[in-house]
Chains A and B, each alone.
Chain A
Amino acid sequence: MFLHYLELAARSARASKGLSTLMVLALALGIGACMTTLTVYHVLSGDPIPAKSARLFNVQLDAGSSIGWKAGEEPTFDLTRFDATTLLREKKAMRQVMSSGFNTSVSLPDAQIKPIFSSVRMTSADFFAMFDAPWQHGGGWSATDDEGEARVAVISSALNEKLFGGANSVGREVIVRGQPLRIVGVLKPWKVLPHFWDLTLGSYTETEDFYLPFSTAMALKSGHWGSMDCWAKGANGGSSLDLNASCAWIQYWVEFAKPEDAAAYRDYLTAYSEAQRKAGRFERPTNVRLRNVMDWLDAQKVLPADVRLQTWLAFGFLAVCVVNMVGLLLAKTLRRGGEIGVRRALGATRGDIFRQFVVEAGLLGTAGALLGLLLAQGGLWLVRQSPSDYARMAQLDATMLALTLGLALLASLLAGLLPAWRAALIPPAVQLKVQ
């Protein structure tokens, strides 16, 4: 029966080409717009590290000065070097990492190539294990290296390609700030979006090219890139990177074996914060935050407001398209009152008529979905040409593909319900009499 309805639907579509084209086109436009914006939304609000995002937590302590303090405000987003160093030393979590951004030139000892300016993460030993860094050659450094200011480094596959032509460079030396560093590990290409462990350099920046122990970076008097928030006397005549500077610029993350361990750690942070207040270092009331990856991204409002706005706009558009389709389908259905009358007179039940018209709407919906898919691909291509830093991520994946088809079918069936119901209500006798 379904096939018969399909055949009838195709015949009716052919009979009113103009109207059918209008409907399919309008639906496809709505679907295309929706899927384009939804895909961008989906990609941007994705989980950067699904396997352990519930077990990784960002740490915030409120170390700022009492001047300008307002109750209920967020604590400073980053930690001071003093606090980060202390928490790292006390090792109360399964893994803990302090890190910050930097940018420097990396060159080879023989100075044959032009220095390559690379993004740097100065961090501590657990970084690679905590964030599941994929290794091409070698591995990370140890906590002993952290303490000993070891002259070691890890480089990305892209930098390895530029410096060593992609060969296994473990054991080779590079020059950073005039000092030789030995490469201990080379990463595989590594994509983590958003760049959640440090959002101060842009939410969708790529993973760093160069990694070295935090202590080593400090010994080399490296600079700092990213957010730097100072208060009171700030650097107090020294550098804002000094251990005792009143400046927050370090991102601190902890990993637990299970998410429930966070409560105990939060207590520990509160106790730490209280102790610092007693010692006179912290002036503000204790205000700690411990957020897992997704909560952190949410709190930092990583998803651009424009993207959400676009998505709403597209859904509004789809709503208009669906209303439009209901109207046109209704017109088309009622125009065929005579045909319906004949079918009813020949024994078709109301249910039969209803089903026939729903199938017809479904057929138009499928056509609209396919065309909408093409439009969405075109739309995403346009998005990728746009200059925003997240643009390159806009790709349609299997989930979104299924969602497109589902959404289109749902929209068209929804649009088809009212006309089909009206069609089923047409009394056969009146229609036949009019003929």
Chain B
Amino acid sequence: MLTDLMPILSTLRRHKIAAGLIVLEVALSCAIVTNALHLIQTRVDALSADTGLAEAEIAVLTLRGSKPQPPERNGSIAAEDLARLRALPGIKAATVVNQIVFGDNSNNSGVSLDPDSKGRRISAAQYAADDQMLPTFGLKLLEGRNFTPDEILDNYQAFNTPDPKIGLLIVNKVMADKLFPGQSALGKTVYVFGSAASTIIGVVDTLTHTQMHRARGDGGGAAMILPLRGGGSYVIRTEPGQLDAQIKAASAALEQVDRTRVVTKARPLAEMRSAFYAQDRAMAWLMGGVCVALLLVTAMGIVGLASFWVQQRTRMIGTRRALGATEGQIRRYFQLENLLLTCTGVAIGTVGAIALSQLLMQSYEVPRLPWLYLPAGAVSLWLLGQLAVWVPARRAARLSPVAALRS
């Protein structure tokens, strides 16, 4: 094997340009493909993120009325509508919330450990719902308890005062750990609105920001639930498989109250999820497509140049065969040559991949390229090179020595 190395190097030295082109092509592919695969991976990670909700059993309904209603009536209208929904046979639970994951709304509030926004302050996604939010969303309570029905405040009344007082709160685990690292958050006091203290009575497991990975700000996934009933979207939970039928029943129940009411949107949460991630999915497919095309083009280039070399060296192959070289030796010669070229390409490409990753980190807030992608990219390009050179190398090996010498 090694005895082949010297003649290969001296041949390559005589074909600097062609060899350089293959190296360049491999390097470019290596740099682009590793980074593109990493980007695909970040998208796929986002796509499969857990919301902590019983997604398959939940639907969200938006109800609008053309008859103006005074805002102070919002809470009681919601209570009446919820009674109607909960009376429907197939509905396990129903609630009205100001926001839900994958929806359009996003409410966030600053929360601090001292009154009037002084002291340590974090931003948290702010859910406002009644005591049925936990069972409707399917949230898991880690510590403490849920709200009781008589702890739910009317949203309008609560805020129609200069100093709103929300006495109780449920927070998610992220928020509990952020505010009170290493200790239980239960019974602790935080300040959301001005000088009125709120006591944490429960900690739920996973409850995300409504915009998932697109959320801005420093909250880092903190979320809380306020015991408020007011306007918002109706959320129903049914037995799995019954969702579509129950959406129809619930819409009819809400609309039949008054003919100016229209359910403008009624969608299963799974459908909202798919719409929410459509862009990320499209991007992942696009990058995947480009990667495949890129590798194909690179393979095409290797096949083309290797074939040319085989043709050019027919006489040399004939001589070697005549002097006793086996088919395998000839084939291995071309394979080794290809390996040398791809190795050089991969070495340059790895440097390029790291540089490209730096650039992407600076301009597009992409996480750093994990080092594992580099050997993975190298191995795939080696394989690609060996695969691409196989056909020309075999053709070279099968040249009959006599014919090769005569040409």
Contact = CB atoms under 8 A, between A and B. Distances in A.
Nearest to A434: B315
Interface string A95-136: 000000000010100000011010000000000000000000
B298 interface: yes
Contacts of B66: 105, 107, 115, 175
B68 A387 contact: no
Interface string A8-36: 00000000000100100010011001000
B68 A221 contact: yes
A233 interface: yes
Contact of A316 (B32, B159, B264): B32
B148 interface: no
B172 interface: no
A310 B290 CA distance: 10
Given A115-B262, A178-B68, A237 B290 contact: no
B290 A317 contact: yes
B293 interface: yes
Given A233-B194, A317-B293, A388 B304 contact: no
Interface in B33-65: 36, 39, 64-65
Interface in B143-158: none
Contacts of A175: 66
B301 interface: yes
B2 interface: no
Interface stretch (A55-63, A155-163, A266-274, A318-326): A318-326
Assign chain A's interface to a size class.
35 or more
Q: At the interface, is chain A mostly helix, strand, loop or mixed?
A: helix
A299 B31 CA distance: 31
Interface stretch (B219-227, B274-282, B376-384): B274-282
A327 B305 contact: yes
Interface residues of B, number: 53
Nearest to B193: A234
Contacts of A92: none
A305 interface: yes
A426 interface: no
Contact of A33 (B25, B194, B293, B308): B293
A331 B28 contact: no
Contacts of A30: 297
B117 interface: yes
Contacts of A117: 64, 262, 264
Interface in A365-388: 386-388
B278 A387 contact: yes
Interface string B105-117: 0000010000001
Contact of B305 (A105, A237, A328, A422): A328
Given A236-B162, A330-B18, A323 B300 contact: no
A302 interface: no
A127 B65 CA distance: 29
A317 B21 contact: no
B283 A324 contact: no
B309 to A, nearest CB: 8
Contacts of B298: 320, 324
Nearest to A306: B283
B160 A237 contact: yes
B117 A320 contact: no
Interface in A306-356: 306, 308-310, 313-314, 316-317, 319-321, 323-324, 326-328, 330-332, 334-335
Contacts of A236: 162
Contact of B17 (A114, A319, A387, A422): A422
B297 A26 contact: yes
B74 to A, nearest CB: 11
Contact of A22 (B159, B194, B275, B300): B300
A235 interface: yes
B22 interface: yes
A388 B279 contact: yes
A68 interface: yes
B121 interface: yes
Interface string B299-340: 011001101100110000000000000000000000000000
Given A67-B117, A107-B66, A327 B18 contact: yes
A418 interface: yes
Given A314-B290, A331-B18, 18 more contacts: A30-B297, A105-B66, A107-B66, A233-B194, A236-B162, A237-B161, A308-B364, A309-B283, A310-B283, A316-B32, A319-B28, A324-B301, A327-B22, A327-B301, A328-B305, A331-B304, A331-B305, A335-B308
Query: What are the nearest 7 A-B pairs in CB distance?
Result: A331-B308, A105-B66, A115-B66, A387-B278, A327-B21, A324-B301, A237-B162
Interface of B: 17-18, 21-22, 24-25, 28-29, 32, 36, 39, 64-68, 71, 110, 117-118, 121, 159-162, 194, 260, 262, 264, 275, 278-279, 282-283, 286-287, 290, 293-294, 297-298, 300-301, 304-305, 307-308, 311-312, 360, 363-365
14 contacts: A30-B297, A68-B117, A105-B260, A105-B262, A177-B68, A309-B283, A320-B28, A320-B29, A320-B32, A323-B28, A328-B304, A330-B18, A386-B278, A386-B279
